[in-house]
Structure 1
Amino acid sequence: MSRAVRTCALLLALLLPAAARADEGMWLPLLLKQLNEADMRQKGLKLTAEDIYSVNRGSLKDAVVQFGGGCTGEIISGEGLLLTNHHCGYSQIQQHSSVENDYLTKGYWAMTRDQELPNPGLTATFIVRMEDVTGAVLQGIPGGIAEAERERTVQQRITQVAQKAVEGTHYKAFVRPMFGGNEYYLFVTEVFEDVRLVGAPPSSIGKFGGDTDNWAWPRHTGDFSMFRIYAGPDNKPAPYSKANKPYQPKHYLPISMAGVQPGDFTLVFGFPGRTTEYLTSWGVDEVYAASDPAKVKVRDAKLRVLDADMKASDKVRIQYAAKYASLANYWKKWIGEMRGLRRLDATARKQQQEQQFRAWVAQGDATRKAAYGQILDQLEQQYRLVRPYVVARDYTTEAALGVELVAYANSLQNLLDLIQNKAPQAELATAVGKARTGTTNFFRNYSAPTDQKVAAALLPLYADGTPAELLPDYVKTLRAKNTSPAAWASFAADLYGRSKLTSEADAQKVLDELLKGNAQPLLADPAYQLASAVVSTYRQKVLPTYTTAQDQITLLQRTYMAGLRQWQPERKFYPDANSTLRVAYGQVAGYQPADGTEYEYYTTLDGIMEKADPTNPEFEVPARLAELYQNKDFGPYAVNGTVPVAFTATNHTTGGNSGSPVINGRGELIGINFDRNWEGTMSDIMYDPDRVRNITLDVHYMLFVVDKFAGAGHLVKEMKLVNMPLNGRANSPLEPNTKKQKVKVKREKAAAL
């Protein structure tokens, strides 16, 4: 196929209605009946929309929680047992770990309820109900009102709607905009704050493959951990107490032992974080050519420093484990995103759509032309205006504030403000008390020598990458003096040698002086001086223009979004992800990552053993796992002589879907969503049905690890395992995975056709 033909095909796919666009979409559960139920049933769903989302009775939504602030979890027993990803529970596992009790390395399993570990600050949030409140929020607001005034009115009404919805109850509520603010939805929630760690495999299982395999397929990671929700005596949320009881859910997910095969229906239920599927060509180009490259460059430098120090010290490894994982995750995602956008020629595809939109506007009446005639030109103008400020934002947040000493020094600015504004002593004392707690928490996971190396690597990137007119004079002077890596290293050594903010003891002494109203020790500290220069310049030179331009883009994008929906009334639009409960559905499928290669839809325990490398920490295999494999001691969790580990499907997912249940057509759990393939990471901006795949941990491997590896069979006994064959088959026809990377040569099919 020629490039011209491929381009035409891509453009045609972009402009076709959603019915022809495979499994793209993150759908509001409230609207499944009218928008998706028929299509879902055609793909293999045996349930109704009411079985998935219901206010009047228990449904699938009542087994799904937002885990903490950024992941999803699912309830898998009548005693509040919660399943999520290992990487979602990683920070909790890390907080409980020490050099003496290294649960990150060795894993942790509570053999009794008394051994389940509390996690202050961790929450599990259920959605009680959702409601379209667009009328209550927008009714009566004039069309020509200034954006700032409109936003004030909208926020006032949102507050009123949310307060009224939960008045007299223990529930909480929030309202989120959809379709760029053309619609608004209310979410009533029940938030549990006593969530305890139950079990986690060792990192050699939970992070098997490490950064090498992250965002990649084939995948062999046992990415799961277990927690339990506890409630008060009335089964309602309560603060941590030893007297609390395991939560009794309205619904929990039975676990299917039937296995999967290509074409099986899959439903992902979770809280996807953020997508921008309706960006214009200028927005796509900003991501691809400016923002992603800057962030990747900075994180690449920081990760190299952290990696070296973590390998050299167990203490540093534990201190920085969660930080490193968080940094590396999106670093690799952004690299894949850029590759995917380039391969799809995404900017050109968006430009083609915009040409079609302009033609539709030009063919319309005066009202249409007045509403949409200038919208794209105005968007282009704002994106061109904001580009240097986006770059400055990224280098400030990733590079300058990526130095932990600078970020910590900046966190004390509010105390200076209180002193300078002559705040009451009681108010100052309260603020200093919070700062003391924050300081203790900060230094628990901080290494000044490591951070000094980070500063030497990142500060020159900040100085060179930020547009000159948006760089602090203080940093311009540093850049002029330090013209080599050795010079920047010398500057960092001097900075960390003189600062009183590099150890907890000295930092607490600075806080002692601030409590007395003496700001001089902080004002004279070189780390604070650097932080102050960076942040004050950002606030004065970058933030005002950036905020104004982004506000304008938001306003214009809302109008453009309304125009797109008017232009394509036959298309089923879904709102961009915004950390609210969504349904994505698709089917089990492999894919072709490149010309001449094809990936199977599954991996097995065989592949783990083939990847095993005792010289590489990312591919170490626990002795117990190797023993079970050698003895073929798989228990009831084997399929055709091996244990299924992971599979791929066509569900449209993003960050926040980590830990989401992957459910079959009968409402049974078949896996835990934990990643996307690297070739599909651009799906936050543009979905490609041929290559976008979500990666799921198969429940067989999860159960095998819990029962046979960890010896925690008491947890399996809590669960409801069902072996109802799908479509009459007893098991999935898996074949042993006999190659380290299960790749087969793509067969030419043209002759057969």
Structure 2
Amino acid sequence: MCRTILLGLIVLMVTVGRVKADEGMWLPILLKEQKFAEMRKKGLKLSAEEIYSVNQACLKDAIIGLVTEGPDNLRSFCSASFVSDQGLLITNFHCIMSYIERFSTPENDFLKYGYWASKKEEESLCRGLMVKQLIRMEDVTDRIMEGTEGLSGAEYSRKIDENGKKLAEEVTKGKNLEMRVQSLFANNQYIMSVYRLFKDVRMVAAPPMSISKFGGLSDNWSWPRHTGDFAFLRVYVNEKNEPKAYNQKNVPYKTTNYLKISLKGVKENDFAMVLGYPASTKQYVPSFGLEAIVEKQNAAKVRIRGEKLAILKQEMEADPGLRLRYSTRISSISNSYLKWKGEIQGVRRMNLVEEKKREEEAFQQWVEASPERKAKYGTVLEDMREVYKELSEYNLANDYFSEAGLNGAEIVPFIGKFEKLVAMYNGRKPVKEASQRNESKRLIGLTKQFFGNWSYEIDRKTFRNMLVRYYEGMPMKFHTEVMEKIIKQYGGDIEKLSQDLFANSIFTKQQELLDFLESDKADGIKVITEDPLYQLSINYYRVFVERISRQRGAWQVKMLPLYKIFQEGMLEMKRDQVLYPDANGSLRVSYGTVRGCEPEDGLSYRYYTTMDGMYDKYLNNPDDLEYFLPKKMRELYQKQDYGRYADKEGRLRVCFLTDAHTTSGNSGSAVVNAKGELVGINFDRLWQGVASDFCYDENICRNIVVDIRYILFVLEKYAPFSYVFDEIRIE
């Protein structure tokens, strides 16, 4: 299979300060030249080849990216790592929580009791989940830019794409591999990553939410933390040890390398390294871009998600039965909500917008000091600022569409899935009846799935609030005609509007919708197209396509050549510095030390937590389910039955902090010691330091890690079976 994705990252590099000691998410192929000597000084015992090599087994072979089926199936959403020679993976519980939720029923509540396979036959297929394993990386800048001299605009892009497809054909043809080429430094450099993609991934073990989400939303992004955020998966392959889609005859993957586990734990100032697939950062966004992102886009998204959370919490308090159905959604909404709030505060605290303005002034002074530089870079900064004035409006509109429109009420994207069926009946070209029947059959399955996990009242209230948010937050040119008409009909009474639309829509009535899908629709498609809720929902999409997406894309195209020139100037100005590119979903290495911090005045954080604090939270919050501790865990604590996992003081450590630079996508990343042994799994950051996506502050930026000893304690002492524990190799 051959697939290539060329990504023109819209990244602006404008910082002129030097990279701080532990800052950066570094490409493994460049570690030896860029950071290896410094890492050795901090305590690393490994050679560069033991971290990354194409000729011998190394750490990179054990580090995995979790991906899903779809057109961009190489974009990882979390990280994982092999911990046995039988394809056993460890990752975060929150990364695969949706699958556990999907497996759960009132009779078998895996969220409440945990998912514990006792043998391979009990491992469940995670449909749609895949994993990618890096084979090699290569700088392919010359290959990708070959023949682009003198080209611009569409011609330049076509040539870049042509070169990428040619390269993909050479690299992947007949090899069961996939590749991705990504641009760095605003298209001034291109890196190719070649992957092996595994399509049969099964659930093996996961603790209950009372362990894996202990502290829940209250403790999210905070410290002290006592969350056992881990889970185990297994990769299956055919008898030749090659990736293959699910088949009962598939066998566990015989790994080329896996991480060994250390029980020695960590102490303050120990070297720590994080290996995973961080999603994206914006370290070098200019002042005008940062100000728009934080003060406009983030501020709007915080308001929107705050309203969603308020509705969910109110309804879940009234009906505790909704907790099981909405646990994944409220966790996802809350996670981004708190992150965006933390970014706003962090950027303001660091006075980062003003700092970047000073940096831009320094860049302009450097340009003006040379006639050659002035001719090449003289107006590029101002040109970008002018383009961004237009682009920022569409970026904000895109966020409103996503947060309040498409991902506002769940009924909206559900309705969107019916557009293909409508097109089949209303299109100019006739569609075969068999195709129509197949589409109806597909929608029947989706309908049953949707209503099995949907609350009418939660969604109605969410729809009501999001309609108001969209209407008030979006300029008139982004309003839909249907929206204006309906709101006018109801005299602005959105509560009554939402009640009537939901009460009278076929899309809120499961059986009516199923009956329609199973019927002869030749003369009845108007049941769909004349439904006001359908019309309003579909118009969200149409406004996005006709008034947001295309225009935003056009302004981005205008910005691309400016970005490239500007970045070229920045690289020239800082040619004596070692710079790391923004995270983009490729394998990266971060490093630092184990240490606490003082994130606020008068507030001091020790670098680790113990089960003592976990038990205290349970005692101090007896009626709060977020701090519920299972009976067996309470008994183990009361007996102090920690076995070989206790520290020298006899306490069981649960989590610890490091100052390694991480971001979204690093969830599930392996945290290893100086010898490359697994000591924990990364799962979160301190909310005071989440602005590290824009600027790393070594004093407060900390990532939160669940201690591997706590994970092993749960597997050996709490889990009902020793199946997983017996497979793991402990050093």
Which TM class, normalised by the smaller chain length?
over 0.9
In structure 1, C-alpha distance between the alignment counterparts of 2:383 and 2:523, rounded to whole Å: 50
Q: Which residue of 1 aligns with 2:104?
A: 97
Residue 31 of structure 2 corresponds to residue 25 of structure 1: no
* Aligned CA distance change for structure 1 residues 42 and 553 (closer, same or farther; 3 Å): same
Q: Identify the match of residue 130 of structure 1 among 122, 125, 137.
A: 137
Q: Structure 1 stretch 577-586 or stretch 513-522: which is displaced more? A: 513-522
User: Does the Cα contact within 8 Å between 1:513 and 1:519 map onto a contact in 2?
Assistant: no
* Aligned CA distance change for structure 1 residues 468 and 318 (closer, same or farther; 3 Å): same
In structure 2, C-alpha distance between the alignment counterparts of 1:592 and 1:293, rounded to whole Å: 26
* Aligned CA distance change for structure 1 residues 283 and 517 (closer, same or farther; 3 Å): farther
In structure 1, C-alpha distance between the alignment counterparts of 2:35 and 2:448, rounded to whole Å: 50
Q: For residues 602-655 of structure 1, what are the alpha-carbon distances to aligned partners after superposition, in whole Å with 9 as ceiling and x for unaligned? A: 111111011112211111111111110000111111112111111111111111
In structure 1, C-alpha distance between the alignment counterparts of 2:523 and 2:45, rounded to whole Å: 67
Residue 471 of structure 2 corresponds to residue 463 of structure 1: yes
User: Does the Cα contact within 8 Å between 1:281 and 1:351 map onto a contact in 2?
Assistant: yes
Residue 452 of structure 2 corresponds to residue 444 of structure 1: yes
In structure 2, C-alpha distance between the alignment counterparts of 1:181 and 1:98, rounded to whole Å: 49
Report the RMSD for the aligned CA atoms in angstroms. 1.9
Give ranges in structure 1 of 5+ residues lacking alignment: 1-12, 723-753
Q: Which residue of 1 aligns with 2:389?
A: 384
* Aligned CA distance change for structure 1 residues 117 and 278 (closer, same or farther; 3 Å): same
User: Does the Cα contact within 8 Å between 1:292 and 1:338 map onto a contact in 2?
Assistant: yes
SS at match of 2:133: strand
Q: Which residue of 2 aligns with 1:535?
A: 541
Q: CA deviation at 1:704?
A: 0.7
Q: Which residue of 2 aligns with 1:601?
A: 607
Q: For residues 343-389 of structure 1, what are the alpha-carbon distances to aligned partners after superposition, in whole Å with 9 as ceiling and x for unaligned? A: 011111111110010011101232x2232111111111122123332
Residue 687 of structure 2 corresponds to residue 687 of structure 1: no
Q: For residues 7-58 of structure 1, what are the alpha-carbon distances to aligned partners after superposition, in whole Å with 9 as ceiling and x for unaligned? A: xxxxxx964322xx12111111111111111111111111111101111111
- 1:81-120 matches, cutoff 5 A: 81-120=88-127
Residue 675 of structure 2 corresponds to residue 669 of structure 1: no
Q: Which residue of 1 aligns with 2:64?
A: 65
TM score, norm. by length of structure 2 = 0.93
SS at match of 1:197: strand
Which aligned runs of 4 or more in structure 1 are off by greater than 6 angstroms? Answer: none
Q: Which residue of 2 aligns with 1:618?
A: 626
Q: Which residue of 2 aligns with 1:50?
A: 49
In structure 2, C-alpha distance between the alignment counterparts of 1:329 and 1:345, rounded to whole Å: 24
Q: Identify the match of residue 655 of structure 1 among 664, 669, 674.
A: 664
SS at match of 2:359: helix
Q: Which amino acid aligns with 2:666?
A: N
Q: Which residue of 2 aligns with 1:735?
A: none
Q: Which residue of 1 aligns with 2:4?
A: none
User: Does the Cα contact within 8 Å between 1:661 and 1:669 map onto a contact in 2?
Assistant: yes
Q: Which amino acid aligns with 1:84?
A: T
Q: CA deviation at 1:267?
A: 0.9
Q: Which residue of 2 aligns with 1:362?
A: 368
Q: CA deviation at 1:86?
A: 0.8
* Aligned CA distance change for structure 1 residues 441 and 133 (closer, same or farther; 3 Å): farther
Q: CA deviation at 1:536?
A: 1.8
Q: CA deviation at 1:434?
A: 3.8
In structure 2, C-alpha distance between the alignment counterparts of 1:437 and 1:23, rounded to whole Å: 50
* Aligned CA distance change for structure 1 residues 515 and 37 (closer, same or farther; 3 Å): farther
User: Does the Cα contact within 8 Å between 2:119 and 2:723 map onto a contact in 1?
Assistant: no
SS at match of 2:333: helix
Residue 206 of structure 2 corresponds to residue 203 of structure 1: no
* Aligned CA distance change for structure 1 residues 124 and 218 (closer, same or farther; 3 Å): same
User: Does the Cα contact within 8 Å between 2:205 and 2:724 map onto a contact in 1?
Assistant: no
User: Does the Cα contact within 8 Å between 2:487 and 2:497 map onto a contact in 1?
Assistant: no
Q: Which residue of 1 aligns with 2:3?
A: none
SS at match of 1:321: helix
- 1:456-605 matches, cutoff 5 A: 456-480=464-488, 487-512=493-518, 516=522, 519-605=525-611
- 1:204-283 matches, cutoff 5 A: 204-283=210-289
Q: Which residue of 1 aligns with 2:428?
A: 421
* Aligned CA distance change for structure 1 residues 283 and 297 (closer, same or farther; 3 Å): same
* Aligned CA distance change for structure 1 residues 181 and 434 (closer, same or farther; 3 Å): farther
* Aligned CA distance change for structure 1 residues 57 and 421 (closer, same or farther; 3 Å): farther
Q: Which residue of 2 aligns with 1:738?
A: none
In structure 2, C-alpha distance between the alignment counterparts of 1:514 and 1:601, rounded to whole Å: 65
Q: Structure 1 stretch 115-124 or stretch 337-346: which is displaced more? A: 115-124
SS at match of 1:123: strand
In structure 2, C-alpha distance between the alignment counterparts of 1:214 and 1:590, rounded to whole Å: 17
Q: CA deviation at 1:552?
A: 2.4
Q: Which residue of 1 aligns with 2:5?
A: none
SS at match of 1:501: helix
* Aligned CA distance change for structure 1 residues 512 and 150 (closer, same or farther; 3 Å): farther
User: Does the Cα contact within 8 Å between 1:65 and 1:127 map onto a contact in 2?
Assistant: yes
Q: Structure 1 stretch 448-457 or stretch 697-706: which is displaced more? A: 448-457
* Aligned CA distance change for structure 1 residues 450 and 596 (closer, same or farther; 3 Å): closer
Q: Which amino acid aligns with 2:89?
A: L
Q: Which residue of 1 aligns with 2:398?
A: 393
In structure 1, C-alpha distance between the alignment counterparts of 2:712 and 2:134, rounded to whole Å: 27
Q: Identify the match of residue 652 of structure 2 among 643, 646, 649.
A: 643
User: Does the Cα contact within 8 Å between 2:117 and 2:723 map onto a contact in 1?
Assistant: no
Q: CA deviation at 1:235?
A: 1.2
In structure 1, C-alpha distance between the alignment counterparts of 2:572 and 2:523, rounded to whole Å: 60
Q: Which residue of 2 aligns with 1:725?
A: none
Q: Which amino acid aligns with 1:682?
A: A
In structure 1, C-alpha distance between the alignment counterparts of 2:422 and 2:601, rounded to whole Å: 60
Q: Identify the match of residue 716 of structure 2 among 701, 707, 711.
A: 707
Q: Which amino acid aligns with 2:24?
A: G
Q: CA deviation at 1:265?
A: 1.0
Give ranges in structure 2 of 5+ residues lacking alignment: 1-13, 68-75
Q: Which residue of 2 aligns with 1:728?
A: none
Q: Which amino acid aligns with 1:399?
A: A
User: Does the Cα contact within 8 Å between 1:98 and 1:318 map onto a contact in 2?
Assistant: no
In structure 1, C-alpha distance between the alignment counterparts of 2:481 and 2:161, rounded to whole Å: 38
Q: CA deviation at 1:209?
A: 0.9
Q: Which amino acid aligns with 2:170?
A: K
* Aligned CA distance change for structure 1 residues 700 and 406 (closer, same or farther; 3 Å): same
Q: Which residue of 2 aligns with 1:16?
A: 17
SS at match of 1:255: coil
SS at match of 2:186: helix
Q: CA deviation at 1:158?
A: 1.4
Q: Structure 1 stretch 387-396 or stretch 158-167: which is displaced more? A: 387-396
Q: CA deviation at 1:483?
A: 6.8
Q: For residues 161-215 of structure 1, what are the alpha-carbon distances to aligned partners after superposition, in whole Å with 9 as ceiling and x for unaligned? A: 1222011111122211122221112111111122111111111110011111111
Q: CA deviation at 1:510?
A: 4.2
In structure 2, C-alpha distance between the alignment counterparts of 1:241 and 1:194, rounded to whole Å: 8
Q: Which amino acid aligns with 1:78?
A: D
Q: For residues 466-495 of structure 1, what are the alpha-carbon distances to aligned partners after superposition, in whole Å with 9 as ceiling and x for unaligned? A: 1123212332344446577xx322211111
Q: Which amino acid aligns with 1:17?
A: R
In structure 1, C-alpha distance between the alignment counterparts of 2:491 and 2:612, rounded to whole Å: 52
User: Does the Cα contact within 8 Å between 2:645 and 2:713 map onto a contact in 1?
Assistant: yes
Q: CA deviation at 1:687?
A: 1.1
User: Does the Cα contact within 8 Å between 2:261 and 2:678 map onto a contact in 1?
Assistant: yes
In structure 1, C-alpha distance between the alignment counterparts of 2:57 and 2:428, rounded to whole Å: 54
SS at match of 1:266: strand
